[in-house]
Structure 1
């Protein structure tokens, strides 16, 4: 069984992090986003993964070759010359696809405001897709395409050798032939392509191992709620960490630091008594003593915030020094 993952986007909404590496390699809960997907595919018997790449293909190729042997799965890349556009209940989806006997299966998810999306109209009992309605003015359903597909090889024969949207050009035809089925995604689904959604998604993700009584989450008198700390990170005395915090490998969190609803990526140093909330701290950055970083501040790679600096919503590009406070959301170039 083969899988195709479309990773051709430029990740502009997640800048400045994606100025350093492609978005699929940005860590989410201390693991590159793309590895979450590849490991899940491997677990259900996928033997080959093809990645459709556009942005920084050489970086993606070098990284994935390292993990190909570790995961025991063949990973190949198809470099997109044009941007083509846009993975987890794989086991359930495979069983569903085999049972209904159609040509293609898609995963859908429920949303609160379907009028803002393209809605999938389907039979509730069988999952057979009737049609797609783009941003309906009248209520026709509350399920939208979640971007996960299981296709028979025959679907590939339907695709012409030119830039094609499978969602707009192919799926409606298969639905008209009564050969397209949809399965509702269990659990949660959301886009984590911009900082505020990344932080919100992290909260949902960290809540999952808590419900499963996982030992992966940190514990102790200094931990509040769901916290993930890499084994190589060092946490000082008198810190208060959590809720919804991830601390990456090689990080140093000095004494008296307060962290909440944030991600601290690989190699970061947080100096004494700093306070960080609702923010993302990029690789190898430093936050000075008594500094306060909040309100969806994002530090790119190798950013150094001086002592006693305040940042409210600053978006700081890589390799910068912040010597004066940022009192309102702005981009520091």
Structure 2
């Protein structure tokens, strides 16, 4: 089966990080978002995968390679401008041909511990509706495509970001399509915001009498659009880790819970409480690392406490004030300054320098 993974989003809500890195390459449990996406796509049965890119084409191609490490074949196509999800399908037509395919939003994380998503996709592949939607009950559906679904699972109406939703069923960023979707994307017109909406294309199929089905998904689903979403997804994925210690741990240090210490990392006179992961080449010295923390490669963390945080490659943290619920960019420095400061929650961009002192 084929899969189309969309990676062209600009990531405005994740700035300043997305000035230098696409959000699809933000690390979660020390792996880019796209690593988790492609691994899940493969688990769902896809072996031919197209990454539809935008401005970050070169960075994404370099990071993801040919797909062999995921046991898939990766093809790269470019969408010159982000003109909507239906336009993305049009842009990928040379890859898709007339084959059935999955479409997966490349900034979405779905964990499938119970195999629920795989069961849903298997059902779509067996019955082959023109379009298959994965939906989930949400507290506030106004920010999503919202489906009205009959008791037999048939979709009778689909609306994009309605101000007054008729249901609480949001469309998850995983779709199943047959070749019928191509007629739909060619038939619709741009929306008021100037985009070809996939919701309009699916509604066109419904209006033409085509079968559009929905299946409810109750597992974890979130996109990494904001800093809090990154931290939430990171915590969730860290919870799936198994303890694996390949780095150096001195006798004065202690590890508790699910902890991964990658090769080349050193832990000196420190305590690490999982779930947590320490990247290769990183030094943790005289520090406490709390649950929910990912520290990337070649970092230095000294004399501090870090918990529920994501620290990217090459960052240096050496302050007596701890960090909690923070994102620290690549090669950023958090160190002592001259003035007092309260407890800290930060979003720190690449190459930034933050000075903190104790009153």
What secondary structure sits across from 1:132 in the alignment? Answer: strand
- Which residue does 2:17 correspond to in 1? 17
- 1:180 aligned partner: 212
Q: Once superposed, what is the RMSD of the aligned Cα atoms?
A: 3.1
Q: How many residues align?
A: 315
The residue that corresponds to 2:170 in the other structure is 144
TM-score (ref. length: structure 2): 0.76
Do 2:287 and 2:301's aligned partners in 1 also have CA atoms closer than 8 Å?
no
The 1:302–1:189 alpha-carbon spacing in structure 2 relative to 1, beyond 3 Å, is same
Report 1:1-333 matches (<5 A): 1-65=1-65, 67-85=66-84, 87=104, 88=110, 91-115=118-142, 117-124=144-151, 126-133=152-159, 134-135=161-162, 137=164, 140-160=166-186, 165-176=196-207, 177-207=209-239, 209=240, 215-216=242-243, 222-224=254-256, 226-242=258-274, 244-271=275-302, 273-294=303-324, 296-307=325-336, 312-324=344-356
8 Å contact kept, 1:8–1:85: no
Distance 2:281 2:17 in 1: 18
**TM-score scaled to structure 1, two decimals?**
0.82
Deviates more, 1:225-234 or 1:55-64: 225-234
What residue ranges of structure 1 are gaps of 5+ in the alignment?
328-333
| Contact persistence 2:133–2:175 (CA under 8 A) | yes
Shift, 1:324, TM fit: 4.2
Q: Is the Cα–Cα contact under 8 Å of residues 121 and 129 in structure 1 kept in the other structure?
A: yes
User: What is the Cα deviation at residue 178 of structure 1?
Assistant: 4.6
Alpha-carbon contact 2:243-2:258 (below 8 Å) kept: no
1:66-125 per-residue CA deviation (whole Å, 9 max, x = no partner) reads: x5233342212221211134645553233211343421111111112335544211123x
Deviation of 1:223 (Å): 4.2
Cα pair 2:30 2:295 within 8 Å, conserved:
no
Q: Distance in 2 between matches of 1:25 and 1:112?
A: 28
C-alpha distance in structure 2 between counterparts of 1:129 and 1:252, whole Å:
53
How far 1:37 sits from its partner (Å)? 1.6
Please say if residues 104 and 179 of structure 1, whose CA atoms lie closer than 8 Å, have aligned partners that are also in contact.
yes
